[in-house]
Every structure is written in C-alpha cells, then in structure tokens.
C-alpha cells in the first residue's frame, strides 16, 4: 500500500506494472464455477464473466501480449477473442488462485467501499455504451463496452493500492464542490489520472484501438463519444438524477442516438414521475429560469 505519492509518472507506471492485479471476489467465484463445468463452457461464457470486472479484463488482455507481432496480423481487441486465443483450459490455469479486491482491502473498509462504488459505476457505463453501440450498428459492440469498462482503470488502481491518497482526493472534492477532479488529483498525487491511464495502456501494450476509445481527446470520433457519454452519464447519475451536468449529458446522447428526450429517459428506466419532473424543470429553465453553471469533471 502506498501512503505517499510517488515521484513522477514513470514511477507510478513502474509500481503498477510490478503489482498483482486483484479481481472481484464475485468474479473469482463465477470463474471457479465455470471451471468446474468446463466441458459446457465456451469463450463467450467466460467473456461475459470477465466483462463485469475491469481489473480481470486488463489481466486477460495482458495475457495475450506474447502473441503480438508475428503471431497476429492485428490486435485482439475483445475479451472473447482473447479467451479463444489462450484456450479454455490454459485460461483457467492462468487464473487458478487469483488475489481478490475484498481480501486485499479487508483492513481498509473505506477503500473497499470506494473501489466497489467506482467499479459499479464503470459497469453501468459499460452497459450504457454496449446498448448505444448496438443501436448505432457499431462494427464491434464489445470493443466499445470494454473501453467504457476500462475508462477509469487508473482510479480503480489508486483505490486498491493507495487508498489513503484516493480518500484524500475524495475528501477534498467533497469539501470544495467547485474543485475539479484533475485539480484534486494533481494536488494530492502530483499527476493526473488520465495521464497515468494512458501511460499504463502504453506500458502494458493494450490494444491501440482501446487506447483511442478511452481517450476523451478523440471526442470527434462517434465511437469515442459513445464511450465518453456513457462514462459521464454513469458518473453524474451515481447518487441521483438531479446532477447539474445531466441535461447536457442527455442532450449529447440524444444527438448521438438521434432520439427524443422522452424516449431516452424512458430507456434509462427513470421512474415516470422523475421523467415528468425532469422535463418540467428543464421547461421552466427554458422559459426564463437562470442557466445552471455545470462543474466540469
């Protein structure tokens, strides 16, 4: 566990590159159940389990790096294809006794709660991204869903390996609602998590396509917009559907999917009375209310 920030970005990358990635206890349990039923399990069954766990997904992608170069004509960008490349039995052999997040953080209850909250958030983002990519007839829906699942990988790693620092960032933002995430990160860590994320992707030789999809700087691409908007919606609706940034999120999603507001709110499964209230609030603002200043994330 790290209690103090490391000296620079390179030191952070080296630290995480030498660490064993833990996975969710539920993932370990489900994989063990699948292993016991190995004769009836295929690569897509395993992928469905892995795609609920960002750190497990990273571990699987890391396993196929020896196959890069002369062995492959192109990057493997989906978990299902990675499992097929490894083979079912070799896959289970590689992950026989994984370290779990719950075991790792058993003496850090605040950190365990924090990382589980982030993982639940990225699971929702991945679900949104998958559904929207399907509606958009994306060429590969799983790539988009996987990019959303891994979008906040550096934040998850921070909660696992440097919980005191993750808690300090959270506390600073709770104390100052105007403090942007990147500013809090630079104050506490000396780096931005987005820079750490991209550096880790490069160091771990993750597929370049996933790198592109996870980088908000490529927001001019519709597939990246799909990922970014899914991540933003999951983040802004974590507590409730009253966040000041949500109207902008919803407007951008409507534009991406070419659907109306009522249709989108219905698809998001917001209770009807909340849908009505949201529409009424926005109507009031349009008719003369004071515009809200949305805090950037």
Over the stretch 116-154, which tens digit does the pLDDT of each residue have?
A: 999 999 999 999 999 999 999 999 999 999 999 999 999
3-state DSSP call for residue 100? strand
- pTM for the model stands at 0.89
Low-confidence ranges of the chain (pLDDT < 70): 66-74, 271-297
For 252, other C-beta atoms within 10 Å of its C-beta total 16
Q: What is the pLDDT of residue 244?
A: 86
Instruction: Give the C-alpha separation, 43 to 47, whole Å.
Output: 6
Instruction: Give the C-alpha separation, 19 to 31, whole Å.
Output: 22
Q: What are the residues facing 100 on neighbouring strands?
A: 23
φ/ψ (deg, to 5) at 224? -70, -40
Instruction: Give the C-alpha separation, 86 to 287, whole Å.
Output: 59
Q: List b or e across 39-61, with b for residues whose CB sees 16 or more CB atoms inside 10 angstroms.
A: eebebeebbebbbbbbbbbbbbb
Q: What is the pLDDT of residue 89?
A: 94
Extents of the domains making up the chain: 20-102, 239-297
Over the stretch 258-280, which tens digit does the pLDDT of each residue have?
A: 999 989 988 998 765 565 565 55
């Amino acid at each position: 566990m790290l209690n103090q920030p490391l000296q620079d970005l390179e030191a952070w990358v080296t630290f995480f590159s030498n660490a064993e990635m833990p996975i969710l206890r539920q993932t370990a349990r489900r994989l063990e159940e699948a292993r016991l039923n190995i004769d009836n399990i295929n690569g897509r069954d395993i992928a469905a389990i892995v795609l609920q766990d960002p750190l497990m997904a990273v571990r699987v992608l890391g396993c196929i790096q020896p196959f890069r170069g002369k062995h492959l004509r192109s990057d493997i960008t989906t978990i299902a294809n990675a499992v097929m490349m490894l083979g079912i039995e070799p896959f289970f052999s590689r992950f026989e006794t994984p370290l779990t997040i719950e075991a790792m953080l058993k003496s850090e209850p605040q950190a365990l709660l924090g990382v589980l909250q982030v993982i639940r958030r990225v699971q929702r983002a991945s679900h949104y991204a998958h559904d929207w990519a399907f509606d958009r007839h994306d060429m590969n829906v799983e790539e988009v869903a996987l990019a959303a699942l891994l979008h906040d990988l550096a934040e998850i790693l921070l909660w696992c390996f440097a919980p005191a620092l993750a808690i300090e960032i959270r506390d600073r933002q709770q104390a100052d609602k105007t403090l942007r995430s990147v500013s809090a990160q630079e104050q506490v860590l000396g780096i931005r998590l987005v820079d750490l994320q991209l550096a880790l992707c490069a160091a771990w030789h993750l597929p370049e396509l996933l790198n592109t999809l996870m980088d908000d700087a490529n927001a001019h691409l519709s597939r990246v917009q799909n990922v970014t908007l899914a991540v933003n919606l999951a983040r802004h609706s974590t507590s409730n559907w009253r966040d000041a940034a949500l109207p902008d999120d919803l407007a951008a999603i409507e534009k991406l999917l070419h659907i109306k507001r009522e249709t989108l709110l219905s698809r998001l499964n917001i209770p009807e009375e909340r849908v009505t209230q949201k529409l009424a609030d926005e109507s009031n603002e349009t008719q003369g209310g004071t515009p809200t200043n949305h805090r950037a994330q």
